[in-house]
Amino acid sequence: MPEALDRLSDHDVVGGDHFMDRAELESLIGDADALLTSLSDPLDAEMLARANRLKVIGQCAAGFNNIDLDAATARGIVVTTTPGVLHEATADLAFGLMLMVTRRLGEAERLVRAGTPWRYDHTFMLGAGLQGATLGIVGLGQIGEAMARRGAAFGMDVVYDARHDHDVSAIDAVNPHTAATRRVDLQELLAVSDVVSLHCPLTPRTAHLIDADALATMKDSAFLINTARGGCVDEAALAHALQTGQIAGAGLDVYEHEPTITPALLEMDNVVALPHIGSATRQTRGVMSALAARNILEVLAGRPAETPVN
Ligand code: GLV
Ligand code: GLV
């Protein structure tokens, strides 16, 4: 347990030790000075209106779509998140999902475990190779860049969609044999990519960014990877696109109605489904909780937070 988390016990801090549902949060938020929160704690305007003395929300996650930032700001509540410490772990997971779905690793392992007879064969369990393929990164923040570097290391050409140009020198430096990383618009990214990987936050602009039209624009040989937020994808449209062969497969760590998953997705061998474990390494979760705790302690001590978002 990081020392900063221990020091939180000197204050009226709510949260952190277990998942809080709406009713529990409602009953506790009134008297709390600080909240240590996770990515699904419902901190909408109605909930925040119950906070009488809340000074700081220490969100232990990169995303904060569960928090009404305007309502918090209006009430003078500092909102903090944990950027800069979880992007490598999350990119590892996204890359793992890409390998799993393109090389059919989950399907292959299920076959072995089921005791299905198999032997080496020239055409057995063929997947899609990554060398020379195009990786389309939607949202080139810290996680997107870390995923792009991994793709370049595996010989993938990278294109990205973002609201502004980014410095891509760290991506281009990885591999002298890949094409220069290019910024393109979403339509072009969807049309040219062999793997589309989502790394954008969930905002009104990105809700259902990947809808039926977007899926129809993708190549029928292309794969979708989502380690960002389920709400960025129209999950029913995704199931339909997979069922009708509009795209080749999907690797998912997040879901639109998490933890519920559209049942059809789980019936398809070309879908890899993980239970939102993007940042779930012991090391990363340790530094995330320590940073969230430090943010809370700084604000309670009347100092600026380390990583505020408002
Ligand atoms: C996890 O999804 C996070 O936002 O940290
Ligand atoms: C995210 O989409 C960005 O503009 O970097």
Q: What pLDDT, on the 0 to 100 scale, is given for residue 128?
A: 98
103-134 burial, b at 16+ Cβ within 10 Å, e below that, comes to bbbbbbeebeeeeeeeeeeeeeeebbebeebb
230 CA → ligand 2 middle, Å: 18
Pairing of strands 157-161, 182-183: parallel
The answer to whether residue 18 is catalytic is no
Q: Whose CA is nearest to atom 1 of ligand 1?
A: 61
Q: Which pLDDT belongs to residue 4?
A: 67
Among residues 229, 235, 256, 298, which one is catalytic?
A: 229
pLDDT tens by residue, 250-268: 999 999 999 999 999 999 9
| Catalytic choice (256, 276, 294, 298) | 276
Going along the chain from its start, the domains and CATH numbers come out as 3-85+281-300 (3.40.50.720), 87-273 (3.40.50.720)
Q: pTM of the prediction?
A: 0.94
The pLDDT of residue 16: 75
Q: Which residue has the tokens 């019936």?
A: 267
User: What is the C-alpha separation between 226 and 230, in angstroms, rounded?
Assistant: 7
Set 50, 258, 285, 306: catalytic member: 258
Is position 229 annotated as part of the catalytic site? yes
Beta bridge partners of 196: 136, 224
Ligand 2 mean position to 284 CA, how many Å? Answer: 23
Give the tens place of pLDDT for each residue, 31-89.
999 999 999 999 999 999 999 999 999 999 999 999 999 999 999 999 999 999 999 99
Looking at residue 257, its pLDDT comes to 97
Q: Is the pLDDT of residue 9 over 90?
A: no
Predicted confidence at residue 6, as pLDDT, reads 77
Distances from the Cα of 148 to the Cα of 127, 202, 217, 290, angstroms: 21, 20, 22, 27
For ligand 1, whether the C-beta of 297 sits within 6 Å is no
How long a stretch of residues is the chain? 310
Phi, psi of 37 (to 5 degrees): -120, 165
Report yes or no for ipTM above 0.95: no
pLDDT of residue 2: 58
CA dist 166 and 164 (Å) reads 6
Residue 164 Cα to ligand 2 middle (Å)? 6
- Going by CA atoms, what residue is nearest to atom 5 of ligand 1? 61
- Predicted local confidence at residue 3, as pLDDT: 65
Query: How far from chain centre, in Å, is Cα 20?
Result: 21
What integer best gives the mean pLDDT of the chain? 96
Say if residues 153 and 129 touch (Cβ distance below 8 Å).
no
Is pLDDT at 303 greater than 60 in this prediction? yes
Strand, helix or coil at 300? helix
Give the pLDDT confidence score for residue 8 in this predicted structure.
83
- Angular region, 201: left φ>0, alpha ψ -120 to 50, beta rest: beta
- So what's the pLDDT on residue 1? 44
Residue 7 has pLDDT above 50, yes or no: yes
pLDDT tens for each residue of 131-184: 999 999 999 999 999 999 999 999 999 999 999 999 999 999 999 999 999 999
Q: How far is the CA of 155 from the centre of ligand 2 (A)?
A: 24
Strand bridging mode 195-198 / 13-15: unpaired
Rounded to the nearest angstrom, the gap between the alpha carbon of residue 117 and the centroid of all alpha carbons in its chain is: 37
Which of 138, 164, 203 to mutate to test ligand 2, by most ligand atoms within 8 A of the CB atom?
164
Measured N-to-C along each axis, helices 87-102 and 105-113 cross at an angle, to the nearest 10 degrees, of: 70
**Cα–Cα distance between 139 and 148 in angstroms, integer?**
11
Active site residue 258: yes
Q: Is 278 in the pocket of ligand 1 (CB under 6 A)?
A: yes
